[in-house]
Amino acid sequence: TLPELETALSGKAEVLSADIPSGADAQDVDHFLSAIVAACERHAESTVTVDVIHGYRHFSFLMYTGALYLAALGRVTIDAIYYALLNPQPQLSPFFDLTPLLELPRWVHALETLRETGSAKVVAKLLRGHPTAATTGTDGKAIAEIMDRVSDAHGAGLPIELGREVGRFFAHKEEAFRKLLGSDHRL
């Protein structure tokens, strides 16, 4: 289907392909991921849309892993990850946006950091410029500032200040925080 995709996107977007192993052997996984990273490294600072529709079933998982790795490196921007469910004709085959699966590990890491260290700095970082803040009327930056102050008070061993900031969060920002996360279709 690569020629069809190239034809459909001609003049609209550049389509690149990379030769990858079939994944029949265990070492093919490393080669697969290396090929993805090498292909994207040649186009550093590009925006990439990932298609996990075509190929063997396990390619979807490998592409997701590769996209997570590339996003973590920060050398390319993963715009979206799409999967299409193939229905028999005449039913429509819907597309699913799997992009939220890139955001979920970041939140898991942030919550693990909070639980293990008491620092909400990673949570604050995720809240700054949160994409749904404007649509929900919530200020992710204001919530992030409280998270930073909670972390600073905890790290400095200041129980009065810690209690004051935690109280401020629960009194003024807890509902906004819930609303912000509840409206986030990426999670």
* Structure confidence by residue, pLDDT tens digits, 135-154: 555 677 888 899 999 999 99
Provide the 8-state DSSP code for 170. Answer: I
A 10 A CB-CB count for 30 gives: 10
Centre a 10 Å sphere on the Cβ of residue 64 and count the other Cβ atoms it contains.
17
What is the reported pLDDT for 109? 92
| pLDDT above 60: residue 66 | yes
CA–CA separation, 157 vs 148, rounded Å? 14
Give the long-range contacts of residues 84-92, CB within 8 A, separation 24 or more.
84/53
Q: Where are the beta strands (DSSP E) in 11-156?
A: 47-51, 77-84, 95-97
Question: Could you tell me which residues come within 8 angstroms of residue 103 by beta carbon, excluding any fewer than 6 positions away?
Answer: 184, 186, 187
* 97: Cβ contacts below 8 Å, ≥ 6 apart: 80, 81, 82
Q: What confidence tens digit (pLDDT) does each residue in 1-40 have?
A: 788 888 998 999 888 777 887 777 888 888 888 888 888 7
CB 32 within 8 A of CB 20: yes
Query: Which range has the worst mean pLDDT, 75-84, 113-122, 126-135?
Result: 126-135
Is the pLDDT at 74 greater than 70, yes or no? Answer: yes
Count CB neighbours of 100 within 10 A: 12
Q: Which pLDDT band, with edges at 50, 70 and 90, does 163 fall under?
A: very high
Question: Is-above-0.75 flag for pTM?
Answer: no
Bond from prior residue into 131 cis (ω within 30 degrees of 0): no
Report the b/e string of 73-89 with b at 16+ CB within 10 A.
eeebebeebebeeeeee
3-state secondary structure of 82: strand
The stretch 151-167 carries a mean pLDDT of: 92
